[in-house]
Every structure is written in structure tokens, then in C-alpha cells.
Amino acid sequence: MAERNTSKRILIATLGLLLTASACGGGSSDSSNSSAATANQYDGCSSEGDVAQTPDGMSLQCVTNSVGELMWDAAPTPTTLDAGSIADATSTTMAMSGASGTSVIPLKSILGGDCDPNGPAGYSAGIGDAKQWSHVVPLGAMVGTHVTPVDHIYVYYPKGSDNSAPGTFTVTSPADGTIVSIEDFQKSNGYPYPDYRIVIAHSCDLYSVFIHVGELQGPAAQAAADAARDGRWSGSIAVKAGDVIADESRSPNYDFSTFATKAMVTLLNPDSYREKETWKPYTANPFDYFPAAITAAYEAKTLRTAAPIGGTIFYDVAGTAQGMWYVKGTNGYRGVGDEAAKFDNNGKIARGYWDTHLAISPHNVDPSAFIYSIGDWEGCPCQFMSKGNVDPSSVKAGGQPTVVDLVEFEYLAPDGSRMDPSKPVRGYKLKAGNSVVGSLAFQVNDDGSMMVEKRPGKDAASFSGFSADALTYVR
């Protein structure tokens, strides 16, 4: 029992767990594998890439949504990316932004399920009792294999809370809605303890996603048997604001995301999220959707003190080095590594989807500190600061190569004393270390791409120009 609870705490505490959406599952029972399906198949699709038409002539394409289900979606139309956006070699015409020349994929088509177009636009209840929490980690964490800023907050309970009496810690639905999918990680990922992902459609424009919650309770329990058998369930279960949907008492700590149409951000290169985490543009600050009293209670537990308290993932600044980057020709966020890979820090074994990721962005708790988050630093998905805390937004297109010395960092409590990161204090700061582990050379190009060379064991002063090891990154 203790081993299982420790495993969950480590997985979440390091934020290094790989969350995957299976390539297939669900979908219709239709046996046709034709690449030119008929309109009669509009009620389901059986093979990704199949095409069809609705009775009114709308073109459809069979795609895999975020929970691994096959579903019909509006077929993509040819598009040309803006000059500031760089298309990967593997890009297709599908886009997920309101940018000129691209089409918008509705949130409901990404997260799926039976949604109410007239449902709630905000929350009317909480997701748990803040008085029981130790702290909340805001959006945008870059830790371990989470190389780019993450799109969920992390809710933590006090250490020693494992194996509490059932019902001690519960997770609740923040608004009326419909549970549309559940994934059982104990089944699909082999976890030795109850661990679920729950997606709730409050409306077609507002979704809540809970990850790593415990035993299903209340309305959600109806799907437990099916989820345990197949690893995932999809359907429609009505839920009310405040309903208990999971019990966190056995092994507390979980992730929470809000995705909303009104929060959608136009990304610099939408195609980078075509194959994985397609919901990214809709990432919302959850605290913007709770009633004021609940928001105040949750913000008081959040480690960040700078606005927005709930954090953000949107740090891209066009024409500069700041933001999220992916090696050109590697499918954007999807990457080319094994989606089921797990990182072994001791052996420096990576080769996961994150290998080709790079983020140079403000820290999610201390935005005055800039993190250089590298997917493959000698096989390690690692995070560093730079000597002198170089601001990536100051590195602009058209300039000479910038070379920074990379250093590890430590955590300081607000009073300036050294802080144990396993016991975080609200408002903590980062302090760059003195020992140089290597350097990073980068140059933003006029076309919006960036030349990058990772230089482990070599300081900035030794740089004389890009070598054959340099790679081109795009947004």
C-alpha cells in the first residue's frame, strides 16, 4: 500500500509523468475501411482518414480525438500559413486557430461527447475544499518531460495524507454538465492504484478535465466497470455542480484543466498541435471561471503571487526567442519519440515525444526567472537558468547568435532563505547557480524559425559559430 501511494506522489510531484491519448478506440462498429466513405456512415467512423459527407453536403474526415476515440470532424481545407508561422515538413492543411488563412476546430470537436450549447459559461461550485490543500501549482510548469508549459494546475494535499479514511478528500464537479469520457490509468498504464482521467462537458464551450483522481464516486462510478474492462469509457452521464466524482483519500494530489472557447488564443503555428494536445489553444486560467469566493480561496493556496495567479502557458513572442519551439520536421508537439516512453534520469534515457521540444519562457511561479527547458540534453529532458538570467524576449530576429551559459538553480523563500522544493512556500523565487553545465547557442531567423545548438560541457566563451550539430526549430 505504501509503495503504491509513494509511486503516485512521485509521479505527480516530479511532473514527469507521460500522459498519452491512445491512437484509437471507441468509434463506430462499421466495418468499412474504404477511404471514400458514404454519407450513410455519418453516425460513426472506423478508420482514421476516411472521408464522408453529411446529408447537406458538408465534407467530413474521420479523426482521433483527445481521448483516443474515432469521430467525424469537418474536413480540413487547404490553407497557407502566415509569413510569421513556419510549417513543419510534416504539416498538413489542418489548423486550429483563428489566424488569417486557417480554420477553427471547435472545442467540442476536440474533447468530444454530448455537450449542451446552452450550458453554463462558468463554474458555480469548487473542485475540492481548499482548506484541505497544502498548495496549488499554477499553469505553465516546465519540469522533467513536461518540457513546454503544462496546461493544468496541480492540486496538492499535505504530506502524510496518504491512506486517509475514505471520504476524507473528495473531488467535485464545478458546474452542471455531462461526463463524456473516463480513462482508467490503472488499466491503460498499469498503475498499481486507482487513477483516472475524467472529462466533463459543462457546455459545448466549457470543459473541465481532471487527471490522476482516485476512486470514482457518485455519477462517475457508473462508468467504473466499463473503464476497468477496456481502459477507457465514453458516453453521457449527467452531473450537477458540487457532485462528488472521485475520492482522493487513498493517494491524494491531482491535476485540473479548464478549456473554454472564449479563452482561445491564436497560436503562432497551430499545425504544431495538429497531432497531439489539440486542445492547447483553448487552455484557460481555471480561476477565471469560479465564483469570487472560491477563486479567492484557491488563489490563496497558489504558489504564484504575480498576476495572473493561476498562471498561463501562452508565452510565445513572435520575432523573439521566447516561447515554445519544436525541431523542424518532427510533427510539432507530437514529436517522433515513443509516446509510451518513460524517462530514467539515472540512465539519461529519453527518446520520448519530448525529445524535440524546447521552451525558453518565464517560470510559472517566479516569472522574473527565465527557464531554458530542453527536451534532449544528452538524453535528459532538463531545465536550467542562464548565467545572468538572459531574457529570451530580448533576443530578436536579425541579430547575431546569442550564446548563454546554462546553470542549475535553487529555490529561495520570500525571506531569502534557501527553500526545500518539496516544501514550497508561496511567492518563492529562483536563484541561478554558478556552476556552468554547458551552453546554448541560438539565433532567431527572419522567417520566424530559430537555429539552436546544444553544447553540453562547453561554455559560451568557446563558441565560434554554429556546427553541424545545430538544428532548426519552429514554433
- Quickly list DSSP for 114-131: ---TTS-SS-SS-SS-GG
Burial of 196: CB neighbours in 10 Å, binned 0-12, 13-18, 19+ = buried
pLDDT attached to residue 12? 41
Give domain status of residue 187, yes or no.
Answer: no
Give domain status of residue 10, yes or no.
Answer: no
C-alpha cell recorded at residue 332: 510539432
Give domain status of residue 429, yes or no.
Answer: yes
| DSSP tally for the chain: helices H, then strands E | 5, 22
pLDDT attached to residue 348? 54
For residue 299, CA distances in Å to 53, 156, 207, 296, 427 come to 47, 13, 20, 5, 12
Task: Summarize pLDDT for 419-454 with one digit per residue, the tens.
Answer: 999 999 999 999 999 999 999 999 999 999 999 999
Give domain status of residue 404, yes or no.
Answer: yes
Quick check: helix, strand or coil at residue 68? coil
pTM for the model stands at 0.79
Cβ neighbours of 64 (radius 10 Å)? 21
Alpha helices in 251-377 (DSSP H): 292-301
DSSP string, 2-16: HHHHHHHHHHHHTT-
Query: Cell 462508468 identifies what position?
Result: 223
For residue 421, CA distances in Å to 250, 303, 305, 428, 429 come to 24, 11, 17, 9, 11
Alpha helices in 2-153 (DSSP H): 2-13, 107-111
Task: Quote the number of domains for the chain.
Answer: 1
Give domain status of residue 155, yes or no.
Answer: no
> Phi/psi at 6 (nearest 5 deg)?
-60, -40
pLDDT attached to residue 339? 65
Give domain status of residue 66, yes or no.
Answer: no
Contact 186, 195 (CB under 8 A): yes
pLDDT below 70 — which residues of the chain? 1-103, 339-350
C-alpha cell recorded at residue 424: 514550497
Task: Summarize pLDDT for 363-393 with one digit per residue, the tens.
Answer: 999 999 999 999 999 988 999 999 999 999 9
Contact 150, 212 (CB under 8 A): no
Residue type, 353: Y
Contact 153, 313 (CB under 8 A): no
Give domain status of residue 238, yes or no.
Answer: no
What is the domain extent for residue 383?
315-475
CA distance linking residue 407 with residue 401, whole number of Å: 19
Cross-strand bridge partners of residue 256? 153, 210
Give domain status of residue 403, yes or no.
Answer: yes
Burial of 90: CB neighbours in 10 Å, binned 0-12, 13-18, 19+ = middle
Q: CA dihedral in degrees (97, 147, 232, 167; nearest 10)?
A: -110
Burial of 165: CB neighbours in 10 Å, binned 0-12, 13-18, 19+ = exposed
Contact 267, 281 (CB under 8 A): yes
